[in-house]
Amino acid sequence: MNPRVLILGNTLAGLVTAWRLGMAGFQVTILYASESAEEEQVARSMPFVGYGPHKHTDSLRQELEIPTSHSRWDPLGLEFMTATTQTAKFPNPPLPTPWRTLLGIAKFSALPVSRRWNLLNYIEKVWEKKEALPNSLDLRSAESWLTSIGQPLPVQNAVWNPLCRFLLGASLSHTRAGSFTNIVTRVFFQSSYDRPHIPEYPDFISSLTQALHKQLEQLGVTKHPVPAIEHLQVSSERISGVCLSDGTIRTADWYVSALPPKMLTSLLSERLLARYAMFHQMSQQTFAPIIAFNVFADGNIKTPRFLLHPGPFAWTLCRGTFFAGEPATLVSCVSLGAQDLFSQTDDHLTTLALQHLDGMAAYIPHLHVPSVRGHSLVRQSLGFTPQTPGVSPSRPSNHTPLSNLFLTGSWTDTNATSELESAICSGDLCAQAVTQLASH
């Protein structure tokens, strides 16, 4: 009889794990609650802007045979708001990286000339090892570090803070300097393919999940909506069953949690949390929310535009699409990590977003509020893990101290830059871990 696997949760990472294990001959069952299905739908509705390599995403797309026309990447230029009605676009000259970045900095009009040469001089010293990055970067904020290298607060507010909010979802004062330097190095100095990009097809993530669901049906993977999970039974440092609120117990040979960290640890005993540092750290894991306000406006913008700016929304993406069968412009305003904003009513957020768009109409003609034909508000409470100064990053591996329990999710240790790539990579790694252990 084929080994049985229970997967708790139907996130993208969970679906990838289920598909890989199903193809490997496991008998897979996915248990999910109705609210987790809603959370999955929310995640698919979020506008996606990627950066860094997406090898696992591209590989999955090819294996699922999603049409290439639905999955190509379009490069994005970074535009920064200025005091005038013009935006400052970061130059992207046709040179190999990192030369294109260095020349881009030299021509970047959002930075005063003195600050451009100051920054280039600092990069040169680090590059030639005449000066080393401080060892204390993870213990100080990105704001204090930038100040120490000659980037004053006005420059930070205009350029560096909007960039940090996009890349890491938090302001400079709430981001570790080490995290900021790492992500900037990866995106701007390693490869031109790491620059910001979007899928050519707006519903790319929906295409992935729909194709996965179809493949799971063909493999005979069972998907069960269930009542709330009460707790996990543990015997001899192994999971022996999943206890549901209706009194039933589901059992398997192997268990995979696609649940958020705190939700999983709430199902474990205090003894396990106290005994294993991994479970204790997971119980302390925090997530920051994401809000997206999507607007369909008249006209069809041919070239996507991506603006970074101050204010309650961190960035705005404009791209061409269709609305009611006619060409239109899809405008997405995204707020990252603003817990106070997340607690506001939908009506308040809608008013705030429309005011934001009205204020940006001078920068982008397609943003005139009277031209709005439809809009939607999307909230995601478990958006991302913030990079807090003084707190070391703690991403768990797919293995847990319980021999037959594994983890899958974008929050695990994958070294990927985007949530999408991290979720798919984690699903692949988790399936490999289960397969390897089951074969011994």
The model's pLDDT over 268-320, given as tens digits with 9 standing for 90+, comes to 999 999 999 999 999 988 888 999 999 888 777 888 999 999 989 999 999 88
Among residues 194, 214, 246, the one where a domain terminates is 194
Please check whether residues 401 and 272 belong to one and the same domain. Answer: yes
pLDDT (mean) for 226-246: 92
The DSSP output letter for 156 is: I
Please check whether residues 119 and 187 belong to one and the same domain. Answer: yes
Q: Is the pLDDT score of 398 beyond 80?
A: yes
The helix-helix angle for 99-107 and 113-127 (nearest 10°) equals: 160
The per-residue pLDDT for 338 is 87
Q: Are 167 and 50 in contact (CB under 8 A)?
A: no
Residue reference for tokens 């949530």: 419
Write out the two tokens for 20: 């890989």
Please check whether residues 95 and 32 belong to one and the same domain. Answer: no
144: Cβ contacts below 8 Å, ≥ 6 apart: 177
Give a yes or no: residue 167 inside a domain: yes
Q: Are 353 and 259 in contact (CB under 8 A)?
A: no
Give a yes or no: residue 130 inside a domain: yes
Among residues 165, 194, 223, the one where a domain terminates is 194
Q: How far is CA 131 from CA 78, 122, 149, 299, 420, in A?
A: 29, 8, 11, 51, 36
Give the span between the Cα atoms of 62 and 171, in whole angstroms. Answer: 37
The per-residue pLDDT for 390 is 57
Q: Domain holding 294: CATH number? A: 3.90.660.20
**What pTM was estimated for this model as a whole?**
0.91
The per-residue pLDDT for 38 is 55
Please check whether residues 242 and 211 belong to one and the same domain. Answer: yes
307: Cβ contacts below 8 Å, ≥ 6 apart: 79, 80, 81, 87, 315, 316, 317, 318, 360, 363, 364
Give a yes or no: residue 345 inside a domain: yes
Please check whether residues 280 and 412 belong to one and the same domain. Answer: yes
Give a yes or no: residue 77 inside a domain: no
CB atoms within 10 A of CB 203: 15
Give the span between the Cα atoms of 32 and 38, in whole angstroms. Answer: 11
CA–chain centroid gap for 319, Å, is: 20
pLDDT tens sequence across 122-178: 999 988 888 888 888 888 999 999 999 999 999 999 999 999 999 998 899 999 999
Q: Domain holding 406: CATH number? A: 3.50.50.60
CB atoms within 10 A of CB 123: 17
Write out the two tokens for 302: 């041919």
Name the residue among 399, 406, 425 with its Cα closest to residue 414: 425
The per-residue pLDDT for 326 is 80
Give the span between the Cα atoms of 361 and 368, in whole angstroms. Answer: 5
Q: How far is CA 17 from CA 9, 27, 65, 215, in A?
A: 11, 12, 18, 12
Q: How confident is the model at residue 66 (pLDDT cuts 50, 70, 90)?
A: confident
Please check whether residues 239 and 317 belong to one and the same domain. Answer: no
- At 218, the amino acid letter reads Q
Least confidently predicted of 165-174, 250-259, 294-303, 386-395? 386-395
Give the span between the Cα atoms of 407 and 410, in whole angstroms. Answer: 10
295: Cβ contacts below 8 Å, ≥ 6 apart: 330, 331, 332, 333, 353, 357, 372, 374, 375
Domain range for residue 415? 4-70+203-286+396-438
Give the span between the Cα atoms of 167 and 319, in whole angstroms. Answer: 20
Please check whether residues 103 and 176 belong to one and the same domain. Answer: yes
Write out the two tokens for 431: 């399936």
Write out the two tokens for 30: 């996915």
Please check whether residues 105 and 25 belong to one and the same domain. Answer: no
Give a yes or no: residue 425 inside a domain: yes
Q: Is the pLDDT score of 369 beyond 60?
A: no
Q: Are 256 and 406 in contact (CB under 8 A)?
A: yes
Please check whether residues 299 and 352 belong to one and the same domain. Answer: yes
Strands 73-75 and 288-297: unpaired
Count up the domains in the chain and report the number: 3
Give the span between the Cα atoms of 342 and 356, in whole angstroms. Answer: 16
Among residues 337, 357, 381, the one where a domain terminates is 381
The per-residue pLDDT for 163 is 96
Please check whether residues 305 and 377 belong to one and the same domain. Answer: yes
> In this structure, what are the phi and psi dihedrals at residue 129, rounded to the nearest 5 degrees?
60, 25
- Kindly report the CA angle at 397 between 394 and 400, in degrees rounded to 5? 110
Quote the mean pLDDT of the chain: 88
Q: How confident is the model at residue 392 (pLDDT cuts 50, 70, 90)?
A: low
Strand partners, 405: 255
Please check whether residues 189 and 336 belong to one and the same domain. Answer: no
Write out the two tokens for 299: 């006209």
Please check whether residues 261 and 306 belong to one and the same domain. Answer: no
**Helix, strand, coil in percent for the chain, rounding step 5:** 40, 25, 35
Element (DSSP H or E) covering residue 339: helix 339-342
**SS3 assignment, position 191:** coil
Give a yes or no: residue 159 inside a domain: yes
Give a yes or no: residue 390 inside a domain: no
Give the span between the Cα atoms of 51 and 37, in whole angstroms. Answer: 27
Give the span between the Cα atoms of 29 and 40, in whole angstroms. Answer: 17
pLDDT (mean) for 309-334: 88
Give the span between the Cα atoms of 253 and 415, in whole angstroms. Answer: 29
Name the residue among 350, 281, 348, 341 with its Cα closest to residue 314: 341
Give a yes or no: residue 84 inside a domain: no
Give the span between the Cα atoms of 154 and 147, in whole angstroms. Answer: 10
